């Protein structure tokens, strides 16, 4: 196994020379240690299948959901490309920095993501290190955000960006994951990572309405915190090659999609690993 840390950023490693489908005990332990430390591990040429991707993901925990296509290709082979198309709205929404499933009662622990069909150019995936962002705050701001709590909702993020689906069900929800009608999840802005004991920010596009703050002021505050957090040595964008796979720590990192020519097909596969209910449950879903 060869491990190379990403250059110039505070997280992330590229691991080659291992077969993710047949990890012996020692290699798995080493890999888990690297992931816990680096939060993002990239495996070029992994070529995971439906079964092997989910099997690999299960090593990290129970699945929130199994391998699912993130794609502009419909089942009939037709491409979703119009901005009014509900599939396109989901894809475009992902371009804002976010942690997965902070809008659910239990936020996700991690995700395995792999590339099957990629466009000629564009479509990179970015990650941002919210531990480094928290560490970089000055003392006053660090203690200020440590006392804050914000709501996280997919209705909020998609609504604000103009990406709510056109099709709506009778109960007001939509046919897409994340539009639930439970209470809106409330989370601290600072999370203590359950494996490392280190603090990091939990922010991103789903966060809104900080408790005790005027909604407009909260929006401005969170916008500037997101902008500050996601820059410089705290972000990395991966240009995909077919067959690449990654695993990222969703408790520490945010991520974003980036645009590509929607007249070209792209199919990525996403397996979401469930958060530990003891440490990833929203404050109001305990």
Residue 100 or 129 having the CB closest to Fe ion: 100
Min CB(108)–Fe ion separation in Å: 9
Q: Confirm if 237 and 258 have CB atoms less than 8 A apart.
A: yes
**Footprint of Fe ion on 214-273 (CB under 5 A):** none
Nearest to 267 by CA among 78, 43, 122, 69: 69
What residue has token string 């701001």? 141
* Interface region with Fe ion, contact rule CB under 5 A, candidates 60-68, 100-108, 142-150, 160-168: 100-108
The nearest distance, CB 30 to Fe ion, in angstroms, is 27
Q: x/- site string to Fe ion, residues 145 to 164, per CB under 5 A?
A: --------------------
CA distance 17 to 20: 10
CB atoms within 10 A of CB 26: 9
Nearest to 132 by CA among 33, 253, 237, 221: 253
Q: Quickly list DSSP for 24-75.
A: -HHHHHHHHHHHHHHSEEEETT----HHHHHHHHHTTS-EEEEEEEEESB-T
Q: Which is nearer to Fe ion, 18 or 249 (CB)?
A: 249
Nearer to Fe ion, 137 or 245 (CB): 245
Q: How far is the CB of 175 from Fe ion (least distance, A)?
A: 18
**Pair 281, 186: CB distance under 8 Å:** no
What sign does the CA torsion over 229, 201, 273, 83 have? negative
What token pair was written down for 109? 């622990």
- Pick 52 or 102: Cβ nearer Fe ion: 102
Region near Fe ion per CB under 5 A, out of 32-40, 93-101, 214-222, 261-269:
93-101
| Minimum separation from the CB atom of position 255 to Fe ion (A) | 6
The verdict on 100 binding Fe ion (CB under 5 A) reads yes
Taking CA atoms, 263 is separated from 71, 72, 134, 169, in Å, by 12, 9, 39, 29
CB of 100 to Fe ion, least distance (A): 4
112 versus 137: smaller Cβ distance to Fe ion: 112
- Among the listed ranges 71-79, 99-107, 152-160, 225-233, the one in contact with Fe ion (CB under 5 A) is 99-107
Position with the least CB separation from Fe ion: 100
Q: Whose Cβ is closer to Fe ion: residue 54's or residue 100's?
A: 100
Dihedral Cα 18, 125, 223, 280, nearest 10 deg? -40
Give the shortest CB-217-to-Fe ion separation in angstroms.
27
Q: Which is nearer to Fe ion, 54 or 64 (CB)?
A: 64
Count residues binding Fe ion (CB under 5 A).
1
- Is 64 an interacting residue with respect to Fe ion (CB under 5 A)? no
Residue with Cβ nearer Fe ion (100 or 249): 100
Query: What proportions of the chain, in percent to the nearest 5, are helix, strand and coil?
Result: 25, 25, 45
Using the contact rule CB under 5 A, the part of the chain among 80-88, 97-105, 196-204, 221-229 near Fe ion is: 97-105
Dihedral angle, C-alpha 53, 58, 59, 64, nearest 10 °? 110
Q: Interface with Fe ion by CB under 5 A: which residues?
A: 100
């Amino acid at each position: 196994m060869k491990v190379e840390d990403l250059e110039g950023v505070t997280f992330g490693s590229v691991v080659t020379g291992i077969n993710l489908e047949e990890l012996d005990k020692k290699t798995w332990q080493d890999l888990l240690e690297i992931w816990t430390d680096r939060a993002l591990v990239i495996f070029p040429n992994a070529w995971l299948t439906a079964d092997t991707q989910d099997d690999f993901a299960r090593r990290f925990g129970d699945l929130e959901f199994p391998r699912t296509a993130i794609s502009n290709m419909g089942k009939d082979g037709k491409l979703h490309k119009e901005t009014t198309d509900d599939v396109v709205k989901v894809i475009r929404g992902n371009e804002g920095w976010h942690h997965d499933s902070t809008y659910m009662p239990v936020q996700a622990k991690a995700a395995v993501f792999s590339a099957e069909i990629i466009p000629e150019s564009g479509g990179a995936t970015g990650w941002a290190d919210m531990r480094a962002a928290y560490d970089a705050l000055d003392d006053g701001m660090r203690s200020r955000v440590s006392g804050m709590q914000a709501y996280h909702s997919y209705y909020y993020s998609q609504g604000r960006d103009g990406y709510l689906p056109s099709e709506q069900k009778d109960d007001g929800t939509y046919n897409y994951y994340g539009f639930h009608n439970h209470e809106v999840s409330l989370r601290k802005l600072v999370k203590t990572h359950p494996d490392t004991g280190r603090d990091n920010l939990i922010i991103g596009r789903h966060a809104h309405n900080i408790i005790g703050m005027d909604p407009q002021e909260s929006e401005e505050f969170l916008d500037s915190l997101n902008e500050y957090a996601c820059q410089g040595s705290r972000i990395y964008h991966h240009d995909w090659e077919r067959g690449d796979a990654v695993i990222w720590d969703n408790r520490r990192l945010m991520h974003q999609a980036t645009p590509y020519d929607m007249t070209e097909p792209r199919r990525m596969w996403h397996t979401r690993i469930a958060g530990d209910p003891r440490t990833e449950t929203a404050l109001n879903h305990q």
